Amino acid sequence: MPEGPELHLASCYINTVCAGLIFSGKVEKSEVSKNPEVLFESDAYLISATSRGKEIKLTLMPLKEEKNTLPGRERGKEGQSQNGPQQPMDLVFRFGMSGSFKLTSGAELPKHAHLRFYTKESPRRALCFVDFRRFGRWEVHGTWQLDRGPCVMLEYEKFRENVLRNLSDKAFNKPICEALLNQKFFNGIGNYLRAEILYRLKIPPFEKARTVLEALQHRKQQSPDLTLSKKVKLKRENPDLLELCHAVPMEVIDMGGKGYGPEPSDDTAAFEEWLQCYCVPGMRSLRDGNGRTIWFQGEPGPMAPKGEKSRKRRSRVNADPEPSSPKVTKPVPKRSSKGSSSQEKVATQSGRKKGKELVPGAENAKGNKARKPNARSRRKASASQESPMSKTPAADRKRQASARRSTGTATVAPRSRRVKAE
């Protein structure tokens, strides 16, 4: 998600690529965007940008104002007179989760280019606001939001004073990891920056914010005998939380890149190597009260959410796929009560033909606590047993019946039929 450094890099990118370019015509908006129309049209205008925390302001400046052809013309709602000169316009952007700016060919616009400013040259080029998730917003004739504090990067002294002067605010009753996302006091700090700042100072993310920040009010003053160079050195070696809220974003800005470099091939490899905590293997993570994931090392702190288990990110070595192991065949499952395979059906049919060979199978079924056969199966079993008995003498039948009673295989139905036969 774009944070303060990304917004500042975007403003620098716009000022670099738009230097010397003249734009012309209408500002186009995509049909799918729910943001307002930008009713600006000029034969020739310039574009410049500036950033403040998590906001960026584009200024559209006409090169020359044409005189009204007829007196008494009224200006439109968006500062544009009817058939008259176009006034300068400010557009304030908030990038959401995926916003960015790109200067591309006018004939090959990037996908999800929701606002487009065209150059006057031929072939035309277009400065595009690209946002594939469409969470970004722009405000026509916009100004910096009043509920946002001073920028942590460009207004450090005002930022520090604003925090320490308002420590009684209820925002500092929350854990420090949640307070750092409050743009009223930490304008420009986002999810990856808070993780890196707290990690460097070894501050538990769920320590109470006021407890952490009140200690800065009673910080020991440096000796007046120290030279300026020694004071700067000590400050760099032992920075406090608010100083890192300024220094860490500036490190990202000095790194450059992140898609805003002079060459299209710039990537985020340097940024990923710079990260020490955020999404780094071996670090732990928890969701804060706002549902955002905070990465940290060590204990989470006394205000950690109850019932939440910290998840430790696996190392890159363990994350690699394991070597393939020899395939092990699973044993054939036992016959279920609801159905059986075709092989089991064949074995059952062959067992019925053999007659007495079913006795071991009956013992196995008894050992497996199989259910008693239903009436239909009992009739089939009795029929298979009666056929050979009808052809044997009475003495043989009595001997076989006594043998069956001793093995427990005799059933009630065959016994009643034998009584009638005798």
Q: Name the residue with tokens 């999810």.
A: 191
Q: Are 10 and 51 in contact (CB under 8 A)?
A: yes
Q: Rounded to 5 degrees, what are φ and ψ at 237?
A: -75, -30
The burial of 7, by beta-carbon neighbours within 10 Å (0-12 exposed, 13-18 middle, 19 or more buried), is given as buried
Residue among 57, 56, 62, 113 nearest 88 (CA): 62
Catalytic residue numbers? 2-3, 54
List CB contacts of 244: < 8 A, sequence separation 6 or more. 197, 200, 201
Distance (Å) of CA 371 to CA 334, 336, 338, 365, 374: 14, 11, 12, 8, 9
Question: Residues 217-220: contacts with CB within 8 Å, 24+ apart?
Answer: 217/164, 217/167
Q: Tokens standing for 353?
A: 């033909």
Query: CA nearest 52: which of 143, 131, 134, 180?
Result: 143
Query: What does 119-134 look like in DSSP terms, one character per residue?
Result: BSSSS-EEEEEE-SS-
Q: Please give the Cα distance from 208 to 174 (Å, whole number).
A: 6
Q: Can you tell me the distance from the alpha carbon of 343 to that of 74, in angstroms, rounded to the nearest whole number? A: 91
> 10 Å Cβ neighbour count for 310?
14
**125-130 and 284-287 beta bridge pairing:** unpaired
- Does 123 sit behind a cis peptide bond, omega within 30 degrees of 0 on the bond before it? yes
The count of other CB atoms within 10 Å of the CB of residue 238 is 9
DSSP character for 173?
G
DSSP lists the bridge partners of residue 139 as 92
Q: Which of 137, 136, 163, 138 is nearest to 150 (CA)?
A: 163
